Amino acid sequence: MIKIELLKVFLSVADEGSFTKAAEKLEMSNQLVSKYISQLETHLNARLFNRTTRKVSLTEAGEKCRQHAKQILENVDNLEAQFGELQTTITGTLNISAPVSFSTLHLSKFISVFRKKYPEIELNIQLNDRKVDVIEEGFDVALRIGQLQSSSLVAKKIAPVRLVLCASPEYLIHNGTPSHPRELNPKHFLHYSYSSYDKTDNLLLNTLKSISQNKHPTIISNNGELLMAAAIAGEGYLVQPTFIAGHALRKGDLQIFLEDYEPEPIALYAVYPHRKLLSSKVRVFIDELSEFFGEKPYWDEF
C-alpha cells in the first residue's frame, strides 16, 4: 500500500522541480525527501524523475503518477473534511528514542499520565544515551538533552535543564570547598563519558574538559545515576543535570558549590524528521510533554 506521505512528497518535488526546494517547502531534510521518492519508485517499479545536476523533471511514468496522485489526495482531503470531526480517537504505534536516566526518573511518570489521555496509542520506547539516527532507525521522535547542533531535523524545546557542580557534604568537609575551578582535584572528578564540553566559554566546563582529556579522572561512566551514587558515597564531585541530582539535593545528600561558575542551562528537546507531515500521535505526544514538564520543571524544586 502506498502511504499518503509518499504521494505528498512526490507532488511537491514535481511541482517545485527540485528535491531541495521541495524539502524546504515541506520543512524536512533532503535525505528524507530522497528516501520517500526512492520508496515510491521501488513500490511502483518505475523511475518517476529524470535527474541531472541542474534539473529534475518527470518521466512519462512520473506524469501518469502525478495525475493519479493529485486525484488520490483530493479524495483524501474530501474524506477528511466530511468525517474529520467524527474521528476523536488517535491511534497507532509511536516509536520513541529517549535517554536512559531521564526516562527512568521522569519519562515514566509522564507516560502514565499520557496513557490515560491517549489509551489507543501504543508506545515503543527505546532507551539509549547515544545519538540515534531518527530517520534511518525508524523513530517518530527522539528526546535529546544538550545544546543541539545544526541538523536537518526539526527540534522543539520541551524544558530547560540546569547543570550543577555538586558533591556530598562529607566530601566537602574532608577536602575543603573550592572557591575557584582551578582548585578542583583532578583525581576526584567523576566523569560522565557522553559529556561534550566543546565550543564553550564557561570556565568550569573548560576546566573539567581539560581534566577529562589530560589528567584522567579516577571514575568514568556512561551512566549519570551511577556517578551520582559515587558522589553521595564521598568519592568525588561531578557536574550533574538537576533532573538526576534534584532528589539528592533536596535530601541534603549532595551539595552544590561553585555556583558563580555554573554554566548556562541546556535543554530537553523533542526532535523529529519534519513539521508539515507531522502525525497526530507525534503532535499530541510533544504537546503533552511540553505541558507536563514546561519552563519550570518540577525537578528544580530543591
Q: What is the pLDDT of residues 261-292, one digit of tens each?
A: 999 999 999 999 876 667 889 999 999 999 99
How far is residue 79's CA from residue 101's CA, in Å, rounded to a whole number? Answer: 44
- Give the residue ranges of the chain where pLDDT is below 50: 85-86
Pairing of the two strands 92-98 and 141-146:
parallel
Give the sheet arrangement for strand 163-167, strand by strand: 238-241, 163-167, 255-256
∠ CA(120), CA(126), CA(132), 5° rounding?
125
Within 10 Å of residue 54's Cβ, how many Cβ atoms?
A: 6
Give the domain CATH number at 218: 3.40.190.10
CA distance 99 to 114: 18
Same domain, 222 and 197: yes
- The residues near 57 (Cβ < 8 Å, ≥ 6 apart) are 17, 49, 50
Same domain, 208 and 229: yes
The whole-angstrom separation of Cα 299 and Cα 197 is 23
Helix (H) or strand (E) holding 251: helix 242-251
The verdict on 178 and 240 lying in the same domain is yes
Q: Do 100 and 170 belong together in one domain?
A: no
Sheet with 121-127: strands ordered across: 121-127, 92-98, 141-146, 266-272, 154-161
Q: Which three cell numbers stand for residue 53?
A: 545536476
Predicted confidence (pLDDT) per residue in 241-253, tens digit:
999 999 999 999 9
Shared-domain flag, residues 14 and 80 = yes
74 lies in the same domain as 102 = no
Q: How high is the pLDDT of residue 135?
A: 84
Instruction: Give start and end residues of each alpha helix (H) in 95-223.
Output: 100-102, 108-117, 169-175, 203-210
Per-residue cell: 283 = 503532535
Residue 85 is predicted with a pLDDT of 44
- For residue 28, the enclosing domain spans 4-86
Number of domains in the chain: 3
Q: Are residues 16 and 59 in the same domain?
A: yes
Alpha-carbon gap, residue 126 to 124, rounded angstroms: 7
For the chain, the residue count is 302
- Looking at the structure, tell me whether residues 101 and 125 fall in a common domain: yes
Are 44 and 65 contacting, i.e. CB atoms less than 8 angstroms apart?
Answer: yes
Statement to judge: residues 257 and 275 lie in one domain: no
Do 172 and 257 belong to one domain? yes
Closest CA to 168 of 220, 116, 236, 122: 236
Same-domain pairing of 112 and 238? no
Domain boundary among 60, 86, 112: 86
CATH classification of the domain holding 13? 1.10.10.10
C-alpha span between 69 and 91 (Å, rounded): 25
**49 shares its domain with 113:** no
Residue type (1 letter), 178: P
**Cell output for 118:** 491517549
How many C-alpha atoms does 167 have within 13 Å on its Cβ side?
Answer: 23
pTM, 2 dp: 0.68
